[in-house]
């Protein structure tokens, strides 16, 4: 496009908005490296102290491991349940399919606060508060819609002639699934799994209610923020940002483009 | 794989004959196949020829096992395979879009059916190498399908379809996506391969030229029924009805009744000398192929050229005869192309005319 | 494969959703009818205090949506009409914040907006202001924070919609003498209406249920429904009231979606 003045103005405006979008992410980096003992900007000097604080504190490390465990558990369970669900929704022809379709996406529509409070009510009765597997169950509910959306898109683009060819060549239904269908769906599976992991790793509201004293990382951060703006949180934030960047790169490399789901 | 037989004919292959009896298939209101019966001899290449919607693909799916017929049966050799799932039918298939597994190499693709049959690894290697050699793709084993041209991909599909000694080979318009020259090359290759292996083969196409080049016999289909099954010569020179006559090759088709032994009066009045043999008074159809007209013969037609096309090797002319008939004439390209309006005289002998009921 | 009329593969997931989603939510909402009366709803919708909270929530959601539209459309438009390099860069700028934890972003805003925060320090030390601007623990802070979190949800649908505009239509308009401004108003805007619509609905509904940002950036002074619900459960232990509030929130959410479906049904699906 020609560099018309209107276009330049647009680019400049958008540039400012990009800055606005990235500002918070950029700000935490210098804060996390500050040598001052409290929050100060600009930081007087550079130091690793806040990262050391994070690594030395067993509570922070515990919380991190918890989040990783719960995240992996959620990704695994969401894939285990969501992949067959997606197959049924895209290819099945049973009565009530439309209803199940709505149900699968419902957790995205219902405000998380309502879900959190509701599940909290049940979990209290079932004594699941504070357990990591209880949290996995709740997070899986939230992650299922992602898995279904990504897998459905992948399945719809799938060339079924390949499955027919496999069958004609002597492959049973299960072998076709294992040797042809799933390998070809790998980009979608990777994306879905990583999205499920990240959605659980970052999740706060449900964790706020369900984690009890066994905290996940977001919950610990939340509590800390409420009490004081400790620069340790900046260090944790940086770690989280880097983790997300790595995951996004992984999705870009091995997964199915997120751009496709933006359509 | 089989020993290489230099001559034509059935070698000691695992191929069997195919017997389709009374197969009917409906999709809701639409009758895709209406009591179709067909026999394919062992080692024969039969082409099923027909326009889109004629049911030929549905018939193929029934034979392959992707559709179950509402009535009728399919037998391969001694076994009734009508209800058998596709994976157990031992049939090699080549589709129009090749359906090569994009995530496997050429070697992986060709080895796939052998792996499904739990053939030992060493044997797999040997047979894959043989199959690739047969389709002249030695050394391509490690390539991925997307790195190959259309023709190469089709050959991999062929190799994959024959490597496991199927009892039958099915090809569904496999060359539709290739350009003309490549298509001709592939047609000859399939022919050669099929003969060498003695494989019973069914070839589906809507391209009648392709059918004529490849087949031992042709089955012409329309609207779910078989119109005629015969050798290529029979189909071309002695079509059984209007549809076959019109679908295969160019034609001049007329209808009339036998007015005397060896003579037919065409609707419109003109009398034409034909080979004897049909009862007087019978309603018949007449077929005159455009390339059978000569300068001299028992039936003469004269008129003005309405349209003329130069085809390189021939002239294609549309002639409006003085007696009202319109003829399509093909002449070898000698001399100048007759222009519209020019007078032309052609003739045809009775034995070059085909009469049918 | 799986195209049969048997729904078995869907069963495990269905059971999970039934037990850990449908049942808990239904049970929770049922609390609001404690005593067999609608008293709690009367309180939620009748008492001035709580009505103000509802209204507040609604207002903020509307404002956030408007801001996101104003800021998000240019971004989506530019990303969709520029070179692949700049588009990829744009995606990074939009997706990275999107997938960064809301908590991290909210914390960062607290750092930025506080009385002694980054922005105020910068402004005062460069002499532009003499007093710190109160941007934290008030309405503006919450607004800024929410717009920041929800902006990508507006950008992506707009991007998609602008991408789908047929470039030959634009070229035709230009060929017929339309200026750039005209082309935008008369061609792009009408054709991307469904993207605008989709993005707005999404942002609005998400704003209604927002919790983290108002809780942290509002400092207790900006009350939105979600924060109120949390308080009622955790501090006041007033489950029936929390249930009634949840029911109202859910109803509002579903109504907005239903209306959006109805209106958006005439256009092509985004």
Q: Which two tokens stand for residue A218?
A: 């977001």
Q: Which two tokens stand for residue C259?
A: 């209306």
* Chain A environment of C90 (Cβ under 8 Å): 14, 18
* End residue of a domain, out of B190, B212, B237: B237
- For residues B199 and B317, membership in a common domain is answered with no
Q: Which residues of A84-118 are buried (b: 16+ CB within 10 A; e: fewer)?
A: bbbbbbbbbeeeebeebbebbebbeebbbbbbbbb
Under 8 Å between Cβ of B305 and B319: yes
Under 8 Å between Cβ of B275 and B262: yes
Size of interface A-B (CB pairs under 8 A): 55
* Chain C environment of A258 (Cβ under 8 Å): 95
- For residues B217 and B191, membership in a common domain is answered with yes
* Chain C environment of A31 (Cβ under 8 Å): 111
Mean pLDDT value across residues A8-28: 90
Identify the pLDDT of residue A84.
Answer: 93
- Give the pLDDT band of residue B4 (cuts 50, 70, 90): very low
User: Which of A63-72, A236-245, B158-167, B346-355 bottoms out in mean pLDDT, i.e. has the lowest?
Assistant: A236-245
Q: For chain B, what is the domain count?
A: 2
pLDDT over 80 at A252, yes or no: no
pLDDT over 60 at A258, yes or no: no
- For residues B226 and B259, membership in a common domain is answered with no
Q: Cβ of C199 under 8 Å from any chain A Cβ?
A: no
Q: How many residues would you count in chain C?
A: 270
Q: Cβ of A68 under 8 Å from any chain C Cβ?
A: no
Q: Cβ of C220 under 8 Å from any chain A Cβ?
A: no
Through-space distance between the first and last CA atoms of chain B, rounded to whole angstroms: 47
Under 8 Å between Cβ of C50 and A139: no
- For residues B209 and B265, membership in a common domain is answered with no
Identify the pLDDT of residue B9.
Answer: 40
Identify the pLDDT of residue C270.
Answer: 40
Between CA C71 and CA A19, with CA A199 as vertex, the angle to 5 degrees is 30
Closest to B74 in 3D by CA, of B26, B20, B34, B17? B20
Q: Cβ of B309 under 8 Å from any chain A Cβ?
A: no
- For residues B262 and B179, membership in a common domain is answered with no
Chains contacting B with at least 3 CB pairs below 8 Å? A
Give contacts of B 128-187 with A, CB under 8 A. 160, 164
Identify the pLDDT of residue C1.
Answer: 52
Residue B143 burial by CB count (10 A; 0-12/13-18/19+): exposed, middle or buried? middle
Residue B245 lies in a domain: no
Does the distance separating the beta carbons of A170 and B90 come in below 8 Å? yes
| Partners of B75 in beta bridges | B19, B80
Mean pLDDT value across residues A30-37: 82
pLDDT over 90 at B178, yes or no: no
Residue B133 lies in a domain: yes
Identify the pLDDT of residue A153.
Answer: 87
Tell me the C-alpha to C-alpha distance, in Å, between residue B80 and each of B26, B93, B238, B299: 21, 19, 34, 53
Q: State chain B's mean pLDDT as an integer.
A: 89
pLDDT in tens, C65-85: 999 999 999 999 999 888 888
- For residues B130 and B53, membership in a common domain is answered with yes
- For residues B255 and B163, membership in a common domain is answered with no
Mean pLDDT value across residues B257-266: 89
pLDDT in tens, B117-171: 999 999 999 999 999 998 889 999 999 999 999 889 999 999 999 999 898 999 9
CATH number at residue B333: 2.40.50.140
Identify the pLDDT of residue A140.
Answer: 96
Q: What whole-number percentage of chain B has pLDDT above 90?
A: 56
Higher pLDDT, A213 or A65: A65
Which residue has 């980054």 as its token pair? C118
Omega prior to A232 cis, within 30 of 0: no
Identify the pLDDT of residue A257.
Answer: 47
Does the distance separating the beta carbons of A81 and C104 come in below 8 Å? no
- For residues B213 and B191, membership in a common domain is answered with yes
Higher pLDDT, C8 or B230: B230
Distance between CA atoms of residues A176 and C203, nearest Å:
42
Chains contacting A with at least 3 CB pairs below 8 Å? B, C
Q: Do chains C and A touch (3 or more CB pairs under 8 A)?
A: yes
pLDDT in tens, A184-203: 999 889 989 998 998 898 88
Identify the pLDDT of residue B147.
Answer: 93
**Chain B residue at shortest CA distance from A160:** B99
Does the distance separating the beta carbons of A169 and B160 come in below 8 Å? yes
pLDDT over 50 at C136, yes or no: yes
3 state SS of C266: coil
- Give the pLDDT band of residue B347 (cuts 50, 70, 90): very high
* Chain C environment of A92 (Cβ under 8 Å): 2-7, 9-10
Identify the pLDDT of residue C114.
Answer: 80
**Chain B residue at shortest CA distance from A173:** B87
Under 8 Å between Cβ of C205 and C257: yes
CATH number at residue B57: 3.40.50.300
**Chain B residue at shortest CA distance from A163:** B99
pTM (whole model) above 0.90 = no
Helix (H) and strand (E) counts for chain B? 8, 19
Q: Cβ of A91 under 8 Å from any chain C Cβ?
A: yes
Closest to C61 in 3D by CA, of C252, C204, C214, C246? C204
pLDDT in tens, C16-47: 999 999 999 999 888 888 777 777 888 777 77
pLDDT in tens, B41-85: 999 999 999 998 889 989 999 999 989 999 999 998 888 999 888
Between A23, A84, A114, which is nearest C9 by CB?
A84
Q: State chain A's mean pLDDT as an integer.
A: 85
Q: What is the domain partition of chain A in residue ranges?
A: 46-261
pLDDT over 70 at A19, yes or no: yes
pLDDT over 80 at C264, yes or no: no
Does the distance separating the beta carbons of A87 and C1 come in below 8 Å? yes
The fold for domain C39-264 equals: MetI-like fold (1.10.3720)
Q: Which long-range contacts (CB under 8 A, 24 or more apart) does A77-81 make?
A: A77/A136, A77/A137, A77/A140, A78/A140, A78/A143, A78/A144, A78/A146, A78/A147, A78/A192, A78/A193, A78/A196, A79/A147, A79/A189, A79/A192, A79/A193, A79/A196, A80/C12, A81/A140, A81/A144, A81/C12, A81/C13, A81/C16
pLDDT in tens, A50-83: 888 888 888 888 888 888 899 999 999 999 999 9
Torsion angle of alpha carbons A52, A58, A63, A67, nearest 10°?
80
pLDDT over 70 at A2, yes or no: no
Identify the pLDDT of residue C2.
Answer: 54
Q: Do chains B and C touch (3 or more CB pairs under 8 A)?
A: no
Does the distance separating the beta carbons of C160 and A263 come in below 8 Å? yes
- Enclosing domain of residue B27: 18-237
Mean pLDDT value across residues C223-249: 87
Distance between CA atoms of residues C142 and C144, nearest Å:
6
- For residues B83 and B190, membership in a common domain is answered with yes
Rg (CA), chain A: 22
Mean pLDDT value across residues A165-193: 91
Torsion angle of alpha carbons B102, B106, B108, B113, nearest 10°?
100
In this structure, CATH architecture of domain A46-261: Orthogonal Bundle (1.10)
Q: Which two tokens stand for residue B259?
A: 């007015």
Q: What whole-number percentage of chain A has pLDDT above 70?
A: 94
* Chain A environment of B65 (Cβ under 8 Å): 168
Higher pLDDT, A263 or C246: C246
Under 8 Å between Cβ of A63 and A128: no
């Amino acid at each position: 496009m020609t560099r018309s003045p209107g276009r330049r103005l647009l680019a400049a405006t958008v540039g400012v908005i990009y800055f606005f979008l990235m500002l918070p992410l950029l700000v935490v980096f210098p804060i996390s490296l500050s040598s001052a003992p409290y929050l100060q900007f600009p930081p007087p000097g550079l130091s690793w102290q806040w990262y050391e604080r994070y690594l030395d504190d067993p509570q922070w490390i515990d919380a991190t491991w918890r989040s990783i465990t719960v995240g992996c558990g959620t990704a695994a369970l969401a894939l285990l349940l969501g992949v067959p669900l997606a197959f049924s929704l895209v290819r099945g022809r049973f009565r009530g399919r439309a209803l199940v379709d709505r149900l699968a996406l419902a957790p995205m529509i219902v405000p998380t606060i309502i879900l959190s409070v509701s599940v909290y009510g049940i979990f209290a009765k079932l004594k699941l508060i504070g357990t990591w597997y209880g949290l996995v169950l709740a997070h899986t509910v939230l992650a299922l819609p992602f898995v279904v959306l990504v897998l459905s898109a992948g399945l719809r683009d799938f060339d079924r002639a390949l499955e027919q060819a496999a069958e004609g060549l002597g492959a049973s239904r299960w072998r076709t699934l294992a040797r042809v269908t799933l390998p070809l769906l790998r980009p979608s599976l990777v994306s879905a799994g990583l999205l499920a992991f990240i959605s659980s790793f970052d999740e706060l509201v449900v964790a706020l209610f369900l984690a009890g004293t066994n905290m996940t990382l977001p919950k610990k951060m939340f509590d800390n923020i409420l009490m004081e703006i400790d620069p340790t949180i900046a260090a944790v934030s940086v770690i989280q940002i880097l983790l997300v960047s790595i995951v996004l790169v992984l999705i870009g490399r091995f997964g199915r483009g997120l751009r496709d789901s933006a359509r | 794989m089989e020993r290489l037989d230099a001559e034509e004919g059935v070698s000691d292959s695992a191929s069997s004959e195919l017997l389709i009896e009374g197969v009917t298939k409906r999709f809701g209101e639409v009758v895709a196949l209406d009591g179709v019966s067909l026999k394919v001899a062992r080692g024969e290449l039969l082409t099923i020829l027909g326009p889109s919607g004629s049911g030929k693909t549905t018939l193929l799916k029934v034979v392959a096992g992707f559709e179950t017929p509402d009535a009728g049966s399919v037998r391969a050799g001694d076994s009734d395979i009508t209800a058998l799932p596709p994976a157990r039918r031992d049939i090699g298939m080549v589709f129009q879009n090749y359906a090569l597994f994009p995530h496997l190499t050429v070697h992986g693709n060709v080895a796939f059916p052998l792996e499904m049959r739990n053939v030992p690894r060493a044997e797999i290697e040997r047979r894959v190498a043989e199959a690739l050699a047969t389709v002249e793709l030695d050394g391509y084993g490690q390539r991925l399908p997307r790195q190959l041209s259309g023709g190469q991909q089709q050959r991999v599909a062929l190799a994959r379809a024959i490597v496991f000694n199927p009892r039958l080979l099915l090809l569904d318009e496999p060359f539709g996506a290739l350009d003309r020259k490549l298509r001709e090359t592939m047609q000859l290759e399939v022919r050669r391969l099929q003969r060498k292996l003695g494989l019973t083969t069914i070839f589906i196409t809507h391209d009648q030229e392709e059918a004529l080049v490849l087949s031992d016999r042709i089955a012409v289909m329309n609207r779910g029924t078989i119109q005629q099954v015969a050798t290529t010569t029979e189909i071309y020179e002695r079509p059984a009805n209007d549809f076959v006559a019109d679908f295969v090759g160019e034609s001049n088709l007329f209808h009339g009744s036998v007015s005397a032994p060896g003579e037919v009066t065409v609707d419109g009045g003109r009398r034409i000398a034909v080979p004897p043999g049909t009862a007087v008074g019978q309603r018949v159809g007449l077929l005159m192929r455009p390339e059978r007209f000569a300068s001299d013969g028992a039936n003469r037609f004269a008129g003005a050229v309405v349209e003329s096309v130069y085809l390189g090797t021939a002239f294609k002319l549309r002639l409006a005869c003085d007696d009202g008939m319109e003829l399509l004439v093909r002449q070898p390209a000698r001399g100048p192309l007759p222009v519209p309006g020019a007078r032309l005289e052609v003739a045809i002998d009775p034995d070059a005319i085909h009469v049918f009921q | 494969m799986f195209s049969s009329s048997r729904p078995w593969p869907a069963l495990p997931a269905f059971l999970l959703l039934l037990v850990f989603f449908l049942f808990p939510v239904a049970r929770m909402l049922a609390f609001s009818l404690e005593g067999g009366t609608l008293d709690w709803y009367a309180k939620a919708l009748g008492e001035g205090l709580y009505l103000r909270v509802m209204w507040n929530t609604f207002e903020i959601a509307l404002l956030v949506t408007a801001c996101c539209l104003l800021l998000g459309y240019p971004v989506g438009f530019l990303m969709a009409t520029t070179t692949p390099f700049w588009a990829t860069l744009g995606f990074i700028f939009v997706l990275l914040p999107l997938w960064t934890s809301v908590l991290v972003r909210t914390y960062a805003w607290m750092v930025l907006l506080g009385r002694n925060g980054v922005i105020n320090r910068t402004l005062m030390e460069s002499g532009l202001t003499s007093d710190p601007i109160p941007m934290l623990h008030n309405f503006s802070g919450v607004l800024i924070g929410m717009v920041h979190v929800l902006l990508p949800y507006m950008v992506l649908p707009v991007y998609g919609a602008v991408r789908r505009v047929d470039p030959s239509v634009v070229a035709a308009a230009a060929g017929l003498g339309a200026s750039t401004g005209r082309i935008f108003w008369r061609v792009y805007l009408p054709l991307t209406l469904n993207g605008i619509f989709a993005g707005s609905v999404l942002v609005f509904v998400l704003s209604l249920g927002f919790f983290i940002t108002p809780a942290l950036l509002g400092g207790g002074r900006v009350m939105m429904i979600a924060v109120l619900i949390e308080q009622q459960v955790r501090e006041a232990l007033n489950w029936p009231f929390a249930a009634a509030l949840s029911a109202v929130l859910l109803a509002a959410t579903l109504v907005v979606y239903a209306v959006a479906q109805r209106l958006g049904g005439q256009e092509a699906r985004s």
